[in-house]
Structure 1
Amino acid sequence: MSTSKTKTRLTVTDCTDRREWNDFVESNDGPPFGLWGWREASRNYGHDTHWLAARDGGDIVGALPLVEIRSRLFGSKIVSPPYGERGSVILADDAPESTTTHLVRQAKRIADDAGVDFVSLRGTTVDHAQFEGFEHENRFVTFDVPVGVNHDEMWDGLKESRQRQIDQARENDLEYVVGESLDELREYYELYLQSVRGHGSPPHSFEFFKRVWETFADHGTLHLGLVRHDGRAINGIVNLGCGSTVSQWGVITDYEYRDLQGGSFLLWKSMEHAHENGYQSYELGRTREGTGVYMFKKSFGGKKTQYDDFHYYPNGPVELPHPDKSAYKPIKEAWKRLPIPVTKLIGPTLRKDISL
């Protein structure tokens, strides 16, 4: 970052120009969950949004997308980003040193005025000193897999056990397809309903996925991958591209068919798709270190990267949401027993207010 620009020229306002915002996020390798489309999807749930732009003169030099979620059941919070892997502050290479400070202070003002329980800025590595008044946590990691290398290097980066599973998937005659229509998005959504119910979690609405689809697919940065067995989808994924990176999101599985190795096959095909479309990195999403999912992702050969999460509590510390909290276990077990039509009907009303 530049030190020659004076901080007194910096102003922070809510950006109203979709193209200007997206151009800045993309050119500075921001996350897809910070693009304007995520703002529209969040607004579609009825949430207020604050797409804060720091300007030095007239140009954007820093950005902080925020979504305000108010719920009688789950409390009130401001999150960057909800429903996604990584958000928080995005900086230009020549941004003045105080840019993050200005953005974070504005986020605190909004939180104080709104009286929310907490602010959560999730998943970025920045200058910790500029997050005055925030508590810092390293709760999650990700793996960044280089996909700008040649195809053989990508394959050689996988552990041999993972290579064998991908070969096994091919032997099992699994079919990989790239979804290009709303019908295929509906096919994905039907499997998604089954998959998230198996985790004891309420689903997003189809309208949420449709809004993401319409925004990102038209922009050419959404890749919907499906693996089928005998014509039936058994694995699915939504990959979102921004800048030089593709971010994994929305991984789903029919666990009845997990021995066919469709999950390994689909992730490899996603990496190939990112490689073929000129991206440099494939980001595997936030994961708790030491879990089974962590070991699975590690086997694809990426570089482990720590997510930095920052939390601000306007009215004093509160307990942050945690899906593995023991108190939720009876609720999750009960949810698993509900018929899918019921979870499809009532789930989105709950899911929209859960920021994870």
Structure 2
Amino acid sequence: MNAELQARASRFNAFPVSEYDQYVAGHPRATPYHSSAWLHATQSAYGHTGWLISVHRNGNLCGVLPLVEVKPPLGASSLVSLPFCDLGGVLADNADIREQLIAEASTLAKTNRIKTLEIRAGGAALETEQAIEGLPAQTKVRMLCELPENSEALFKSYKPKLRSQIRKAEKNGLGAELCSEADAVNLFYDVFSQNMRRLGSPVHSLRWFKDLKAAYDDQMLIAVVFQDAKPVGAGIVLLSGKQACIPWASTLEEFNRLAPNMLLYWTLLSHVCDLGYTCFDFGRSTLGEGTYRFKKQWGAQPYELIWSEYHNGVQKKASVDPNGTGPSGLSRLRPLIEYIWRRLPLTMTNWLGPKLRRYITL
């Protein structure tokens, strides 16, 4: 059987995209991040080279591994599957093909003199309290929620406290709109960029989100929460197969007492539920912390995140760190850097942030 398999590494823009997307659409472990749209936006917005590792059997595609080559101006380059999100990783017909894809990716890294190959994958559900308690402190997990047949059933599944919090936002005069037009990106970015400055973190470029919208088209939804005409909350959802994921959501801190986040999530959850999506990916959280508890109240359950690094073909476990990894000296300086960043003008953080963010692969 192995003699029939052919593995190769191709530049993303040289591979038949329709063949790739067709395979992704039919694979049960595919996520919205596996879509060629993610590679399109990464390349067009930030100039990172996209690669596809593929395996064919008798001319038929039977495994893929999407990768992005990130070359910072200082430091070593990396091949990541996938940057700027929680996971990408291998999609394959069987375990043997999976190993062949990783081996070919390691060869590509060696050929291109790239130090690190990083593969981010999702794992099994953490179904018992014993399984969760056995994990180290600061463990990052992926939070997934199964959706019922419609939003009415979803709302009835919530505890009274959660239902009252959703109604609280409406009683406080907030309204939400679901947008599919490209112009909604600007409304989202107005909220998102302010929130990222508050967190002391470099922001993605506006072009990144515009290129994502152009690439995903109607498979990218934007919800905006308003107080009168002012956007006070916004979030993005990507769609694929029967799965919806929310990579970014933000609210303005001064309006949080009005519960815009509750209305934001309910607007998105109810909409995708009524569209027939059966799984909602709330994204990465640290076990037991605030965002973990927030997502759990909506019915989300923790799943493993398995990030692996390969150096010269040798595998080691990578750190799943929302702040990124780096030299210990930089880690000690992080609180000071964040303090300074919060006090910069918004125009400055929106200009400087993307120049840094394009090389931060988390």
TM-aligned CA distance change 1:319 to 1:76, over 3 Å: farther
TM-aligned CA distance change 1:59 to 1:139, over 3 Å: farther
Q: What is the rounded CA distance, in whole Å, between the counterparts of 2:52 and 2:337 in structure 1?
A: 34
Structure 1 segment 270-349 matched on structure 2, within 5 A = 270-314=268-312, 323=323, 325-349=331-355
Shift of 1:290: 1.5
When the two chains are superposed, the root-mean-square deviation of aligned CA atoms in Å is 2.3
Structure 1 segment 1-356 matched on structure 2, within 5 A = 6-13=1-8, 14=10, 16-29=15-28, 30-44=30-44, 45-73=46-74, 75-91=76-92, 95-125=93-123, 139-217=139-217, 220-314=218-312, 323=323, 325-356=331-362
SS of 2:292's equivalent in the other structure is helix
Q: What is the rounded CA distance, in whole Å, between the counterparts of 1:179 and 1:307 in structure 2?
A: 31
Question: Given that residues 83 and 355 in structure 1 are in contact (C-alpha distance below 8 angstroms), is that contact kept between their aligned partners in structure 2?
Answer: yes
SS of 2:238's equivalent in the other structure is strand
Question: Given that residues 159 and 301 in structure 1 are in contact (C-alpha distance below 8 angstroms), is that contact kept between their aligned partners in structure 2?
Answer: no
Q: What is the rounded CA distance, in whole Å, between the counterparts of 1:8 and 1:155 in structure 2?
A: 53
% of aligned pairs identical?
24
SS of 1:295's equivalent in the other structure is helix
Q: What is the rounded CA distance, in whole Å, between the counterparts of 1:21 and 1:148 in structure 2?
A: 30
Shift of 1:97: 3.4
Question: Given that residues 150 and 276 in structure 2 are in contact (C-alpha distance below 8 angstroms), is that contact kept between their aligned partners in structure 1?
Answer: no
* Unaligned residue ranges in structure 2 (runs of 5+): 125-135, 325-330
Shift of 1:139: 4.2
Counterpart position of 1:132: none
Question: Given that residues 89 and 124 in structure 1 are in contact (C-alpha distance below 8 angstroms), is that contact kept between their aligned partners in structure 2?
Answer: no
SS of 2:122's equivalent in the other structure is coil
SS of 2:56's equivalent in the other structure is strand
Counterpart position of 2:327: none
SS of 2:103's equivalent in the other structure is helix
Question: Given that residues 80 and 121 in structure 1 are in contact (C-alpha distance below 8 angstroms), is that contact kept between their aligned partners in structure 2?
Answer: yes
Question: Given that residues 28 and 243 in structure 1 are in contact (C-alpha distance below 8 angstroms), is that contact kept between their aligned partners in structure 2?
Answer: no
Paired letter, 1:181: E
Q: What is the rounded CA distance, in whole Å, between the counterparts of 1:309 and 1:178 in structure 2?
A: 33
TM-score (norm 2): 0.86
1:275-324 deviations in whole A, cap 9, x for unaligned? 12121111111111121111100110123211221122339989856517
TM-aligned CA distance change 1:353 to 1:289, over 3 Å: same
Q: What is the rounded CA distance, in whole Å, between the counterparts of 2:151 and 2:183 in structure 1?
A: 31
Q: What is the rounded CA distance, in whole Å, between the counterparts of 1:247 and 1:22 in structure 2?
A: 18
1:205-256 deviations in whole A, cap 9, x for unaligned? 1111111001112xx2111111111211111111001111001111111011
Counterpart position of 1:130: none
TM-aligned CA distance change 1:114 to 1:161, over 3 Å: farther
Report which stretch shifted further, 27-36 or 224-233: 27-36
SS of 1:309's equivalent in the other structure is strand
Q: What is the rounded CA distance, in whole Å, between the counterparts of 2:318 and 2:31 in structure 1?
A: 26
TM-aligned CA distance change 1:103 to 1:31, over 3 Å: same
TM-aligned CA distance change 1:177 to 1:338, over 3 Å: same
Q: What is the rounded CA distance, in whole Å, between the counterparts of 2:120 and 2:168 in structure 1?
A: 37
* Unaligned residue ranges in structure 1 (runs of 5+): 1-5, 127-136
Shift of 1:149: 2.7
Report which stretch shifted further, 64-73 or 106-115: 106-115
Q: What is the rounded CA distance, in whole Å, between the counterparts of 2:285 and 2:3 in structure 1?
A: 39
Question: Given that residues 67 and 81 in structure 2 are in contact (C-alpha distance below 8 angstroms), is that contact kept between their aligned partners in structure 1?
Answer: yes
TM-aligned CA distance change 1:159 to 1:8, over 3 Å: farther
TM-score (norm 1): 0.88
Question: Given that residues 7 and 96 in structure 1 are in contact (C-alpha distance below 8 angstroms), is that contact kept between their aligned partners in structure 2?
Answer: no
Q: What is the rounded CA distance, in whole Å, between the counterparts of 2:313 and 2:354 in structure 1?
A: 29
Q: What is the rounded CA distance, in whole Å, between the counterparts of 2:295 and 2:43 in structure 1?
A: 32
Q: What is the rounded CA distance, in whole Å, between the counterparts of 1:245 and 1:311 in structure 2?
A: 27
Question: Given that residues 237 and 252 in structure 1 are in contact (C-alpha distance below 8 angstroms), is that contact kept between their aligned partners in structure 2?
Answer: yes
Question: Given that residues 122 and 142 in structure 2 are in contact (C-alpha distance below 8 angstroms), is that contact kept between their aligned partners in structure 1?
Answer: no
Question: Given that residues 146 and 154 in structure 1 are in contact (C-alpha distance below 8 angstroms), is that contact kept between their aligned partners in structure 2?
Answer: no
Shift of 1:81: 0.9
TM-aligned CA distance change 1:208 to 1:305, over 3 Å: same
Shift of 1:85: 2.2
Equivalenced residues, count: 336
